[in-house]
Structure 1
Amino acid sequence: MDGTWTIGELADRAAAALAAGDSPPANGRVRDLPNERLIRWYTTIGLLDPPLGRRGRTALYGRRHLLQLVAVKRRQAAGRSIAEIQVELAAATDESLERIAELPPATGKEREHFWRDRPDISHRPATVTDYRTSRPPVVQGVRLGADVTLLLEASHLTDADLAAIASAARPLLDELHRRGLTRTAAPPRRSQ
């Protein structure tokens, strides 16, 4: 399903659209940026359509959901109650949602270079790494055995690092094998 997003991606897109718009400030009772819980609640009360489908257990949302979400937030920012918004948007067409949502024009860059931009995660909990101010850690995988891989947050590993890791991992691999948690024991030591 091209053009679909997870609930987190939908929240990020809605937050970006709301930040780019000229809507009046929130009235203090209204959460100005939508989050995943709010999106689920809006779906439950009928302000948002049900998800388009699923990929495994992950619900997928599309452009209409984005229009609905931003339109609801714009109406709330203008002081409308949820009941008034439900009546107005109950059977709204995409065209009327476009007019209310006032999404900024698409630049075409959104899909082409999505990996270059750091998402705005200001509405996310503080425990999430802030990709705007710090680079995410580089994770290296070091194969210790046929079915064991060690993941390290390291940007570069030398041959000496790899040899030291292999040597230090030998007792762990032996123990995992004794417990039946791996298919193979640690490789024999190389004579030097």
Structure 2
Amino acid sequence: MANPTTRNLIVEKAEALFYEGGFEATSFADIASAVGISRGNFYHHFKSKDDILDAVISRRLETTRAMLERWEAEDGEPRRRIRAFIHILISNRAKIMLHGCPVGTLCSELAKLDHHLMSRATEIFMLFRNWLARAFSDLGAGDRSDDLALQVLTWSQGVAVMASAFRDETYIRKEVAGMDDWLAALPETIPSLLPRSL
């Protein structure tokens, strides 16, 4: 049976390397070197880079799910839950300015490669989308909940792309403040007061 400690370390290092340098550009040798093991030992745990990618996606799904559950447990008020999501742009700003959003960059790269694990990576966005939609539903958005969840996802992804392009922390803070203002201004009667097309 594979040593779970070594396997977990491989996945952890691979996740960082895929984020910082890209999946395609990262080699087995890069990951083995980062972990400090021989390539032979490496192959004992993973037979292909796609196997590692699948494990990385599983790890991100697990950590994302845990983060969302923690936010919900810490504060049940829906507007504050949505704000917690928006503010990951601030808490992760240094990494975002250097490498973009970890989920967005991975999905974009896998889409360009027409990679068979693209749909697995998209599951991470679906976790965010469904979680945000539930929060908007709790705010009274009704059948607009999913539209609003996608709007927040789209806005945050756009901010991450531009922040990476311009390396401008002031821009991130300004956009997050704008999202906060937009969220605070949402009325209780969201369905009747917001336009149907966003």
Higher strand share: 1
TM-score bracket relative to the smaller structure: under 0.3
TM-score (norm 2): 0.24
Higher helix share: 2
TM-score (norm 1): 0.25
**Radius of gyration: which is bigger?**
1
